Amino acid sequence: MNATIPTLTRRYVVLNVLGWLPTGLCAPVLILLLAARGIDMATMGALLAAYGLTAAALELPTGGLADVVGRRPVLIAASLLFLVSAVSLGIGTSVLVIAAGILLEAAGRALDSGPLQAWYVDAVHAVDEDMDLTSGFAHGRTAGSIALAVGALAGGALAGWVPVPSTGAGPILALSLPYLAAAGVIVLRIVVQLAWVGETVRRPRADVRAVLADIPRTVRVGIGTCARNSVLRRITVLCGVVGVVLAAVELLAPLQIAASLGGDSRAVGAFAVFTALGGFAMAAGSAASPTLSRLLGSVRRTVVVALVLTAVAVAALGTPILLLVAAGYVGVYLALGAPEPLLDTLTHRAATAAERATVLSVQSLALRICGSAGALAAGMLAANVSSAAVWVLVVAVLGLGALVATGLPGGDRSAEADSAATDTGGVLELA
């Protein structure tokens, strides 16, 4: 491949921006748009549950698909699904069309969970097999988080300021505009993917039957790799921990913020701002990741400290004071952003090119399943006990994550390699 490593990193950063900007645009308005279409809360819950189940069911097969047929076609397929989904949700007026849009979004998210990162690793290693990817991962995650934050602000502005009816039976409402803007960004993303994403790993030409036949084997390899390898096993558990934390925060924090503001009338703008602040905070955490690792002296210490700080932020979320709730919300994303590039690097050192996308899908599956369980548990506890009980549960899960993280490599490259090579026993720790 002719591209240099700085060029590949810039492309990876831009593709992360184009991937997360549409999500940011739509994040503040989804629930409000569903309500404007006349969909009741019970149906909303069913639609969101269908989204989670679809994404989880497709996670591993689609990760295997990327390892079988290549990164580029899977990325393009995911973008096409996102495009159809954005248009369906933006202009759909019936529950059937909206449900189709949500399920297509879930399928696209499952397809999109690993191939871009796997492509970047393959492309960089084709130039320099020993290149440290931590900085590139940090740049990519930082850019994606900033794009999410900027998109949230832009989506809130579009929905709140553009003179379009906010209610009615027509296909275009004010709350539809962020979805239509997202569709435009996705079209640009497809063009850029076609121009920049190439295949650096040779794969035999395969017909559809061969592809479908090879996916179960590839999936088994990915699960087996995560089960046998100490580093991947621990990172997969940590993905589950993050899933529980984010599910609880995203379920309860907006309600607490809206209640603190005195009702729902200011919830759209407030949620857009807090989504943006969370994105900026996660970007700052990712950007600071290499520096924190150097200051603390090891990857292990960095991850443990980040989880402890997340627990402190969660405790702030449990208070009735709006300022502390706001600080806790931002603090959760800041702390969770810090270890991600380091864990990305450990993952890619422990996984080979042939199984990399599938391993990423295993980790994403752990996050989704544990997130679904966390959302269910948080809802039941909040309804039947109290919201304080939810935060106690989240802090306990973070404590478990910190214990798991104490077994990660310290940060020395040879030590990481030794750990990955020698510790292949033990039980499967998938959460």
* Predicted confidence band of residue 60 (pLDDT cuts 50, 70, 90): low
- Which range of residues forms the domain containing residue 307? 5-198+209-422
Yes or no: say if 347 and 363 are a contact pair by the CB < 8 Å rule.
yes
Task: Look at residue 217 and tell me whether its pLDDT is greater than 80.
Answer: no
What mean pLDDT comes out for the span 45-65? 74
Yes or no: say if 185 and 16 are a contact pair by the CB < 8 Å rule.
no
Q: What is the DSSP string of 376-391?
A: HHHHHHHHHT-HHHHH
Assigned token pair, 203? 């794969």
Residue 429 belongs to some domain of the structure: no
Assigned token pair, 29? 């308005």
Task: Look at residue 357 and tell me whether its pLDDT is greater than 50.
Answer: yes
Give pLDDT tens digits for 363-420.
877 888 888 788 778 877 887 888 889 899 999 999 999 999 998 886 544 333 333 3
* Predicted confidence band of residue 224 (pLDDT cuts 50, 70, 90): confident
Q: Which of 96-105, 194-203, 289-298 shows the lowest mean pLDDT across its residues?
A: 194-203
Q: Which of 93-107, 304-318, 344-358 shows the lowest mean pLDDT across its residues?
A: 344-358
> How many domains does one find in the chain?
1
State percent of the chain over pLDDT 90: 28
What mean pLDDT comes out for the span 22-39? 85
What mean pLDDT comes out for the span 87-95? 93
Tell me what pLDDT residue 102 has: 92
Residue 52 belongs to some domain of the structure: yes
Across the chain, mean pLDDT equals 81
What mean pLDDT comes out for the span 326-341? 89
Range from 40-44, 141-145, 344-348 that averages highest in pLDDT: 141-145
* Predicted confidence band of residue 265 (pLDDT cuts 50, 70, 90): very low
Q: Which of 45-49, 260-264, 342-346 shows the lowest mean pLDDT across its residues?
A: 260-264
- DSSP alpha helix (H) spans, 266-298: 267-296
Range from 89-98, 228-237, 358-367 that averages highest in pLDDT: 89-98
In this structure, what CATH number is given to the domain that contains residue 233? 1.20.1250.20
Residue 384 belongs to some domain of the structure: yes
Tell me what pLDDT residue 414 has: 37
Residue 418 belongs to some domain of the structure: yes
Give pLDDT tens digits for 279-303.
788 878 888 888 888 888 888 889 9
Global confidence as pTM: 0.69
What mean pLDDT comes out for the span 109-132? 86
Tell me what pLDDT residue 103 has: 94
Alpha carbons 86 and 184: distance in angstroms, whole number: 9
* Predicted confidence band of residue 268 (pLDDT cuts 50, 70, 90): low
Task: Look at residue 213 and tell me whether its pLDDT is greater than 80.
Answer: no
First to last CA, the chain: 39
N residues, the chain: 431
Task: Look at residue 6 and tell me whether its pLDDT is greater than 50.
Answer: yes
Alpha carbons 365 and 359: distance in angstroms, whole number: 10
Give pLDDT tens digits for 127-186.
888 888 878 888 898 898 889 888 988 988 888 777 676 666 678 888 899 999 999 999
Tell me what pLDDT residue 185 has: 97
What mean pLDDT comes out for the span 27-56? 78
Alpha carbons 336 and 286: distance in angstroms, whole number: 9
